Structure 1
Amino acid sequence: MKMEEARNMRERLRTIGLEEFVRENITNDKYSIRKIATAFGIRPYLPYGDAFYYQIVGQAMLRELARRQKLPQYNTIDDAVSLLQSKKNIMVITGAGISTSLGIPDFRSKNTGFYSQLLARGFESPEDVFDIENFDMDPRTFYELAGEILPVLDKTSPTHAFIRLLQDKGKLLTNYTQNIDNIEAAAGIDPAHLIQCHGSWATATCRKCKAQVPGATIFSDVKAKRVARCTACVQRLSAQQQQPKKRKRAPNSNSNSSSRSRGKHGHVYSDDDSDGQYDIPEPGVMKPDITFFGEQLPNTFFDRLTDHDREKVDLVVIVGTSMKVAPVSEIPNFIPKDVPCVYISREPVEHINFDVTLLGYCDDVVSELCRRAGWGLDHPMALKGKADVSRFDEGDGSRWKVTRPVESS
């Protein structure tokens, strides 16, 4: 099915609803189920029967009906600027792309992302490095690799400065960051306006005794590729070891018995014997408080989104993320449908309909937005002067490419 025909079919579904769409196109055999499947991104040549296609197409149609639709009145970079200037409760959703200019790799970029690097090293499933069961079973794999994603402690990017600028102007509702580097704290983002969706390196917690320490406490271990152990456990176990041990006496022994005596069944008892209570266990392993696969997101994420932000937000700006990881990826579909969404990243995404898409390095795009808005972006790495802006594709005219002029590179 051609792209235009598929787009018209999805639009028809939204116009007439699910029941009438099924009657018009499936019950009346206007199209084969496999052809309809292609309109919803499903391959028509999978090795399954039609019964499978009816089920999966039904699910795809329900997803399409729930999918956010583009607002036609917003299309250009200047529309994005006007929205930034006029809106007062801006939600900013950020990903690893806002920190790459600081030398911190993102996770999912092809060839350059951290997962791509792990694939090149032979890892069949890079995500397993961040699986909580794998960590508890053997934390060495994580500690051997984690040094490559350690945060910087004294630098911020122009995009972080942009978010701080929104805060200073009283426009920042909430910054939902998927990043674990905690650079938002260095940029001065108020914790009251920050949700660290996947946790961060800011703190680390013992998997055994739950003692929590500043994340920087374990950085030396991470850099040395050495599993960090809990110092609270070490101190407690050391104190237990120094306590006097109780002696186990032979049956019917008295205070004058020798240090070694034989019981009636022939067992030799000694003052040094132990019933196992003095075996010294290993101290717990420290885990940075980033959210691993298999762990729940913090309750603050859901509480803030549903109880506070959903009814207040008047603009969503998504920066430096492919929006592939749920539940963050579902935020644009969750907020009211009339709230505009601006997307900023190096590559476009197809699974979410945005109103304006600005493609380029995040730092350059936000620099150009601030220049056009008449806002000073005070950061040494910010683009000085005007960026080159051109239409990325014909389409509906809402995708734009923003690049740094050659002389500014």
Structure 2
Amino acid sequence: MSRDSSKDRAEAKPKQPPEAQSEEDNASGTSMSIDSLRKYLAEKLGISDKDDEKEKIKILDDVSVDGIAVYIKKKNCKNIITMAGAGISTSAGIPDFRSPGSGLYDNLQKYNLPHPQAIFELDFFHENPKPFFTLAKELYPGSFKPTISHYFIKLLIEKDVLLRHYTQNIDTLERIAGIPEEKIVEAHGTFYTGHCLACRKEYQLEWMKERIFKDEVPECESKDCKGVVKPDIVFFGEALPDKFYSLIENDFKKCDLLIILGSSLVVQPFASLVDRVLDTCPRLLINREKVNNGSGIMAMFGFGAGFDFDGKNNTRDVAWIGDCDEGCQLLADKLGWGDELKKLRQTEIEKIEKAEATPVKSSM
């Protein structure tokens, strides 16, 4: 009896002090709370919650542009998505928004704005549309020609490997390069069309251009209207186009390679698209600096939070730092498409210049 009792006592776990038990319970409760919150947010926001289930899969043989080229060939990619910012148009002569000293926001002092972003704010536009249209004349589509980066995107279409091109740009250079409308999602709108703010009548690019180049504020021609006609670009506080929201869900699930070109990825919801692809999808950034290199509160909860360029387990995120045209040409060279890309741009630019030199026939 006493032997059994001794054995029971020997096998019994020592009781913890009440304080230790309380700390253990609190830690367990906190862990459960964070896990529950993570799962709840994942369900509500539609964000992947597979952080604990991820297997360490080697996605790229080499985390470099060479590795991306090998992947495209080996995996026979058919659903590449490109995402573009102002960096693909700077070599065409169009300033980007944020480059110190040369960015658009740095060059707006002459318009006497309360702050640089005001030129793209709807309230300020209603109050004084003139500064916007003065700037629009400088940036208007038709004054610039597409770059190597634009024709790289077109080449992906010709190779039948591009699913969609998402762009933040409003310069319409993708359209000028010949990228079909069904392949383009102009997330921040376009100059291609405009609408009267009063009656919503639609106007086309050439109609608006004629008035803007006369230094006029375009006014609706509907009887008794005279509302201001605003190009269909997205101002701060406006909703993104329906096409953006209708396509992102299916597109990014299908994506087998994501290429981001010349974007600072600071404007939402566009920037969040990089986290919509599957965990097995490689992501290539071609830009003048690394951006969106994962951190922040979302990472605390185990959600996607940008790129993992410098992570020790990274096998899918590649950053090529430099000029977009050079990066696109390099990737084309690695794929054996380099000469084809150069010839494509040369041929297409010659067509544009020939069309510009041809006198417009009178309708009379």
TM-score (structure 2 length as normaliser): 0.69
Corresponding residue number in structure 2 for 1:14: none
> For residue 132 of structure 1, what is the amino acid of its counterpart?
L
2:94 counterpart of 1:104:
yes
SS of the equivalent of 2:82 reads strand
Tell me which residue corresponds to 2:275.
333
Aligned to 1:288: 231
Runs of 4+ with deviation above 6 angstroms: 65-72
Q: Secondary structure at the match of 1:310?
A: helix
Counterpart residue identity of residue 82, structure 1: V
CA distance in 2, matches of 1:217, 1:89: 37
Distance in 2 (CA, whole Å) between partners of 1:142 and 1:292 is 11
Quote the Cα distance in structure 1 between the aligned partners of 2:114 and 2:97: 15
Aligned residue for 1:12?
Answer: none
Bigger radius of gyration among the two: 1
The CA distance in 1 between the partners of 2:147 and 2:185, in whole Å, is 19
What's the CA shift string for 1:178-223, capped at 9, x where partnerless?
A: 1111111111112221111011010111111211111232223333
Pairs within 5 Å for 1:2-401: 23=27, 73-74=59-60, 75-85=63-73, 86-118=76-108, 123-152=113-142, 155-231=145-221, 233=222, 236-237=223-224, 283-306=226-249, 308-349=250-291, 350-351=293-294, 352-353=306-307, 354=309, 355-375=317-337, 376-377=340-341, 378=343, 379-380=345-346
| 2:263 maps to amino acid | T
What is the Cα deviation at residue 120 of structure 1?
A: 7.9
How far residue 145 of structure 1 moved from its aligned partner, in angstroms, is 2.3
Q: Tell me the CA shift for residue 72 of structure 1.
A: 6.2
1:393 paired residue number: none
State, as a whole percentage, how many aligned pairs show the same letter: 34
Conserved 8 A contact 2:81-2:258: yes
After TM superposition, give the deviation of residue 118 of structure 1 in Å.
2.1
Structure 1 vs Structure 2 CA RMSD:
3.1
Distance 2:106 2:276 in 1: 31
Distance 2:231 2:50 in 1: 35
Kindly state the Cα deviation for residue 73 of structure 1 after the two structures are TM-superposed. 4.7
Residues 89 and 147 in structure 2, CA contact (< 8 A), matched pair in contact too: yes
1:84–1:125 distance in 2 versus 1, CA, 3 Å: farther
C-alpha separation between the residues in 2 aligned to 1:66 and 1:122? 48
**Partners of 2:288 and 2:176 in 1: CA distance:** 24
Distance 1:121 1:154, change over 3 A: closer
Post-superposition offset of 1:224 = 4.1
Q: Aligned AA for 1:141?
A: P
Unaligned runs of 5+ in 1: 1-19, 28-58, 238-281, 383-409
CA apart distance, 1:225: 3.6
Change in Cα spacing, 1:145 to 1:154, as seen in structure 2 (3 Å) is closer
**1:109-149 residue CA offsets vs partner (Å, 9 max, x unmatched):** 22211012125876453111111122122212212322232
- DSSP-derived class of the 2:195 partner: strand
CA contact (8 A) 2:172 2:192 kept: yes
Following TM superposition, by how much is the alpha carbon of 1:370 offset from its aligned partner in structure 2, in angstroms?
0.8
* More divergent stretch after superposition (205-214 vs 164-173): 205-214
User: Contact 2:111 / 2:131 at 8 angstroms: preserved in 1?
Assistant: no
Give, in whole Å, the separation in 2 of the partners of 1:210 and 1:157: 34
- AA paired with 2:279? K
Alpha-carbon spacing, 1:71–1:228, altered in 2? closer, same or farther (3 Å): farther
How many residues of Structure 1 are paired with residues of Structure 2 in the alignment? 279
User: Which residue pairs with 2:355 in the alignment?
Assistant: none
- Which runs of 5 or more structure 2 residues have no equivalent in the other structure? 1-23, 32-40, 295-305, 310-316, 349-364
Deviations 1:52-87 (A, max 9, x none): xxxxxxx9xxx9x97999986541120122233332
The 8 Å contact of residues 92 and 144 in structure 2, kept in 1 or not, is answered as: no
Q: 1:71 and 1:156, CA in 2 relative to 1: closer, same or farther beyond 3 A? A: farther
- CA gap of 1:66–1:325, structure 2 versus 1, over 3 A, is farther
